[in-house]
Amino acid sequence: MALTRRNMIKGAAIAAPASLAAPGIARAQEPIRWRFQTYAGTALGEQVTKPIIDYINNAANGELEIELFYADQIVPTGELFQALQRGTIDGVHSDDDSMASPTPLRVFGGYFPFATKHILDVPVLFNQYGLAEIWDEEYAKVGVKWLSAAGQDPCNFNTKREITSVDDLDGLKLYTFPTAGRFLSRFGVVPVNIPYEDAEVAVQTGELDGMAWSGITEDYTVGWADVTDYFLTNNISGAWIGSFFVNQERWADLPDHLKQLVMAAIEAGHTYRNQWYWGGEARLRAQGEKLELRTVPAEEWAEVETAAKEFWEEIAQEGEVHERIVGIFREYNEVINQAGPPYTNG
């Protein structure tokens, strides 16, 4: 038979299905599944962690599925690091202090007294002043992959009793972070360590006088504004320092394109929280009706700031990494103090 153009096309049409058959009947690959726990309770977690997880689940095309758990749902917050290290949990959003990080970084996570003035100080410190390299190095030593840090709200006080002077701190039983509590005990504060979700009831029963845990946005979001009466506009730190972490082996096994997706989601989440907190702090101070604002005069609050610098000196003596980080905080504070408003509060 003569080989004509018609016969060639016919032959190709017959052969094509055989050559495409294998991909057509191949099974879809099972998704990679992670369990992820945040330090935040359900109400707060909806704003600070869930948007990142939703972003990943929606954009991963079924290749990566992350199940989100809130504060203490798999393990207590203080056991998050251990659970992450051994693989009980695949990912974590927390500060180093709350999750009992076994690194020199623990004391600097959460609220390190007066290290920051505003929420954007945190990414600047990590990305421009070298904290990112330190965090990456230290967690690599203990088998955990640190991904990214960002700022959130300042550490103010919401209480049942008025605070109008530094002396009013004396004897207050407050729910707060370990390092913040260690610092505030200098002024007679009694730090109380209880599960996050129990704090609201503890105020109602008198076990707590309030919280030194957040700004006013969280007070309204999680219900603390319903059980306390006053909000102190003075703070002991301008922004929370928290990070996203992943089990080192799970991260190594993740394909590069999914690693890029996870990082993109985290960065998008940082941007969302920046505006959510910044706008919320202003709106609720100006228009919130549940908490009465109180302020300790700046010249008196300077006593607390001076004590923080002494606290820095003590921490710097605890090790080489401590000294290095305190040095970065000093350098940055010198810069913003010279720059003046809006970088500083004065």
The answer to pTM > 0.85 is yes
Q: Could you tell me what percent of the chain has a pLDDT over 70?
A: 92
Q: Report the C-alpha dihedral over residues 298, 299, 301, 305, rounded to 10 degrees.
A: 110
Distance from C-alpha of 295 to C-alpha of 162, rounded to nearest angstrom? 10
Q: Which CATH class for the 32-153+240-287 domain?
A: alpha beta
Distance from C-alpha of 50 to C-alpha of 194, rounded to nearest angstrom? 24
Question: Which of the pair, 145 or 20, is modelled with greater confidence?
Answer: 145
The answer to whether residues 242 and 150 touch, using CB atoms and an 8 Å cutoff, is: yes
Residue 28: the pLDDT is 55
Q: 233-267 pLDDT, tens per residue? A: 999 999 999 999 999 999 999 999 999 999 999 99
Secondary element (H or E) of residue 300: helix 298-316
Residue 99 has pLDDT above 90, yes or no: yes
- Domains of the chain, by residue range, sit at 32-153+240-287, 157-237+290-339
Write the single-letter amino acid at 299.
Answer: E
Helices (H), 195-255: 199-205, 216-222, 248-253
Distance from C-alpha of 64 to C-alpha of 254, rounded to nearest angstrom? 9
The answer to whether residues 325 and 108 touch, using CB atoms and an 8 Å cutoff, is: yes
Quickly state the pLDDT bin for 29 (edges 50, 70, 90). Answer: confident
Report the candidate in 139, 172, 138, 176 with the shortest Cα–Cα distance to residue 156.
176
Residue 278: the pLDDT is 97
Q: 112-163 pLDDT, tens per residue? A: 999 999 999 999 999 999 999 999 999 999 999 999 999 999 999 999 999 9
Instruction: Please indicate whether the domains covering 32-153+240-287 and 157-237+290-339 agree at the CATH topology level.
Output: yes
Write the single-letter amino acid at 66.
Answer: I
Average pLDDT, the chain: 92
Q: 153-204 pLDDT, tens per residue? A: 999 999 999 999 999 999 999 999 999 999 999 999 999 999 999 999 999 9
Q: Strand 157-159 to strand 210-212: parallel, antiparallel, or no bridges (unpaired)?
A: antiparallel
What mean pLDDT is predicted for residues 288-298?
A: 98
Q: 37-79 pLDDT, tens per residue? A: 999 999 999 999 999 999 999 999 999 999 999 999 999 999 9
Quickly state the pLDDT bin for 344 (edges 50, 70, 90). Answer: confident
The answer to whether residues 211 and 176 touch, using CB atoms and an 8 Å cutoff, is: yes
Residue 71: the pLDDT is 96
Angle between helices 320-339 and 131-140 (to 10 degrees): 160
- Architecture in CATH for domain 157-237+290-339: 3-Layer(aba) Sandwich (3.40)
